[in-house]
Structure 1
Amino acid sequence: MSDSETQSGPQSGARRPVRVFLVDDHALFRAGVRTELDSLTDEVEVVGEAGTVGEAVAGIGHHKPDVVLLDVHMPDGGGAEVLRRSRPDHPEITFLALSVSDAAEDVIAVIRAGARGYVTKTISSQELVRAVVRVSDGDAVFSPRLAGFVLDAFADRPGAAPISDPELDLLTPRERDVLRLLARGYAYKEIASELFISVKTVETHVSSVLRKTQLSNRYELSRWASDRRLV
């Protein structure tokens, strides 16, 4: 075997880095994750980032990454909305939720929307790299206690905890965003500013939520949202 053949063999068999796109509305957090991943390993390569749903959808379409690291809660719709708008056009891309929340309804919402896994922001840098590589290879990855939520929600087995809430499932991601802020005491104008929508649109969403939940006012809605740990 010639020297050139000897040199080219290992290179041809080397795995290329997993191309990652970061979605989170906190710029400092994105910068920290990018720095950690870029400095820690050559197994992953951060190719882009976004802080809003619109930026995420555009950036995912432009960069066509292997894996999208996706925050669950963002002001303009959150991870489920990114999935809803991106997956139909890019079914080959894998989405991994990375969130501070470990609430069952958040986990189930993004998994139903098409995410391949869900890890919390307490994960170490090394564990995050392994999670990214694993979902890129086709595995489903969850932080330890979150896997039970998914099993209970999707497996038809005796004793499974009923994670699904038929009333909650009626609400769109945007309606949930409005409801969450409403339950936190935000005024309509503040909700409109936070979500970059008009006050009239907020009123429309609130009316829709009231109709779907068959409740009478924002105080009942706040209590309803609190009972479901949306706040």
Structure 2
Amino acid sequence: MTDVKTAGELAALTEHVLHQARKNAEQIVARARQEAEKIISQAEEQAKVREEELVHAGMEEVTRLRRQIVSQAQLRLKEELLREKAEILGRIVGEIRDRLTTMCAKDGKEYLDVLVGLVEAAISGEEKLPKRLILHLSPQDIARYEKELPTAITARTGVKQVELVPEPIRGGVIVEIPESHVEVDSSVSRLLQEFTPKVEALVTREIFAPLNGGGE
């Protein structure tokens, strides 16, 4: 579950990378299509050389050969697009990971606000205000915000009892609500897992669908 502020930052970062990726993808597609046209042209030249054989074989063989030529060209184009798509997706996810890692490494109010926002989002689905929260955080975050975080959460949410427990995570928070037996994982690794499919769908829709004429 991602808080609004974090989601907004990730969305802005994604759009920035997509803007650059569109240009690269358009160039890749143009080159791939040129290659496809080249394959077709070469194959047609070969077909002309074999014209007498093809005439004897009949028009069905001519049609079959031309379909095979086009199919091979389309396959090469698709393979090139898939490679480019994987590269763009990897670049976006990598930049998002770096952004989250940098944010988590900051010892300041920005990251504290993010943690509080994640906790607020985690308890927003509860019918009534929890009496107690157990927050699983990295040891580094506990050392930095041992006093500030519980105070800020109480001030923002009204929850009186906030316990911090060390957890081997790289950032973010896992929120445990004992009375309702609920645990919400908003760690950095979980945020990336949630965001990656959304980015993949966005890359497909915003870059490759238009270049493919609506298909992949």
Which TM-score tier does this pair reach, normalised by the shorter chain? Answer: under 0.3
More helix by percentage: 2
| Bigger Rg, which one | 2
TM-score by length of 1: 0.22
The answer to which structure, 1 or 2, has the higher relative contact order (CA under 8 A, 6+ apart) is 2
